[in-house]
Amino acid sequence: MSEQGFDYVIVGGGTAGGVLASRLTEDPIIRVLVVEAGPDHRGLMNRVPAGVLGLYQAGTLHWDYKAKPEEHASGQVLPYKMGKIIGGSSSINSMLWTRGAPAVYDGWAAEGCTGWSYDDIEPLYRRIERASVPDDQVMGQSGPIGLTRGNPSSSPLNEAFLEAAQQAGHPLTENYNGPIQDGACVLYRNTDNGERSDVYRGYLEPARKRPNLTIRCNTAVERIVFDGKRATGVEVMIGGRREVVTAKREVLLCAGAIASPQLLMLSGIGNPAALTPHGIPVQHELPGVGKNLHTHPAVRVAFTCTKPVSLLRWTKPPLKWLAGIEWLLKRTGAAATNHMDVAVYARTDPGLPFADAMLDFTPLVLGRDNSDGSIEGFAVYMELVSVKSRGRLELRSSDPRARPVFGFNFLEDERDLTAFRTGVHMMRKIVGQSAFDPWREAELDPGADVNSDDEINDWIRRTVTLSHHVAGSCRMGAADDPQAVVAPDLKVRGLKGLRVADNAIMPFVTNGNTHAPAIMIGEKAFDLVRESRTAG
């Protein structure tokens, strides 16, 4: 690789990096190298929507990180799975399409992130989307990512949830991706004609035919190379040999909210107090690297069902096999969906600027490790999508192969525990409505005997888990923000030729699944890079 001249080197061929690679190489004179640590893999399960659980359990396709014990969550050691594959987490995630509330992006702008208000980024979403509902006034119609509206009638339990939510006071909202997010809703998923529609299929696959795009998989970047304060390339490990690959214009760091700050630190960028104990020379002092780490914590309430109408029967032979055969022949049926069709967005405090609770309904009770369940039942998951507690990431050593040390500090802020407690009452209230009378049997989680604040708090601490929506560890901010790692143009502060473009740059995480925002960040980064190039 060292003999080739590249204008841009993209570190990470995942969600945002794949978008950048595709967009930049639309100009035939621009040469781009993508360096991806994961395999160049595109198996059948990456295409089958119902295969999502199998992908999470396939250890070769994701970084199987483990956070350090959560002090305020009963010492739990929580797993975090991030895509280790061409296309990144876009190739293995649950396919829920959630832009996030307009007030989230306006909040970013209010914190000094000029150019990131909802009015600024809404056209980017329209550029990305290709909605299956032709008269939809909210979604884009001709983008590379196909979107399908969920089907509540696929299960009587889905229909019961929508009706019960309205009975409990949550009005039906037509499209939660529009100006009004709060309420009961039918979810959108990024599937197209019964197949996963992801960054690989929509962006990278067509771009790979271009002679000006080079993709190197199974290749680890060990550090960023500098000439003074300018990034000039990356050092990579190939077949046991280290090589330096140069970037004539910029290095674009798209390795995700765990690996991006880790790579900055390994390159001497961060808090000197965190670098010098590992013998890493300080290239540039930026105290915010690795701080502000957070994600959406989650709990669930679960119930047994009076009748065998859940998805349990579809998780086992012979129906599981029949669903697979139907998908192979027609791309329809139970395997052509992620089975996440309905939800509620709500505020645990009416004074909040946007919904902080996403209540996802599933007509199935899974094992705690997301394995196939064995109980005829249903569950409501509450994701706390506006979390106050913050964690941090640090190096374990100067060895790039050593996993970093990180934790989320879940429930350290008492407001998060209060919000969860309110959410538990919300979920119980919904399931307690008359619409569920034909189906509701016994409460499994937290259990009918868990009622007082102390009992609910204890249950939350013991059972809280995480959503795979990690963000914030290289936060974007104004010039006078001492913790900001990147400016609104995504350039690393105080350095040249280096940007971060992934969910690490979020000042605070969007209030929903972060797949769509990651793609948007890739599109925004492309616009910013193009503007710099045309400006000379």
CA torsion 458→358→150→361, rounded to 10°?
Answer: 20
Is residue 409 within 8 Å of 402, Cβ to Cβ? no
> Which are the contacts of 144, defined by CB distance < 8 A and separation ≥ 6?
128, 130, 202, 203
The token pair at 372 is: 């196939």
Cα 207 from Cα 245, distance rounded (Å): 21
Please state, as a whole number, how many other Cβ atoms lie within 10 Å of the Cβ of residue 47. 18
Q: Is 170 a catalytic residue?
A: no
Cα 94 from Cα 166, distance rounded (Å): 26
Concatenated DSSP letters of 12-47? --SHHHHHHHHHHTTSTT--EEEE-SS-----GGGT
Give the per-residue SS3 of 274-313.
Answer: HHHHHCCCCCEECCCCCEEEECCEEEEEEEEECCCCCCHH
Q: From the candidates 72, 339, 468, 469, which is the catalytic residue?
A: 469
CA torsion 153→159→162→165, rounded to 10°?
Answer: -170
Cα 329 from Cα 166, distance rounded (Å): 38
Cα 264 from Cα 297, distance rounded (Å): 26
Cα 75 from Cα 67, distance rounded (Å): 11
Please report how many Cα atoms fall inside a 13 Å half-sphere around the Cα of residue 504, on the Cβ side. Answer: 34
As separate numbers, helices (DSSP H) first and strands (DSSP E) second, the chain gives 13, 26
Please state, as a whole number, how many other Cβ atoms lie within 10 Å of the Cβ of residue 419. 24
The token pair at 337 is: 């969906």
> Which are the contacts of 483, defined by CB distance < 8 A and separation ≥ 6?
287, 288, 291, 292, 475, 477
171: Cα separation from own chain's centroid? 27
> Which are the contacts of 241, defined by CB distance < 8 A and separation ≥ 6?
none
| Catalytic residue numbers, as ranges | 469
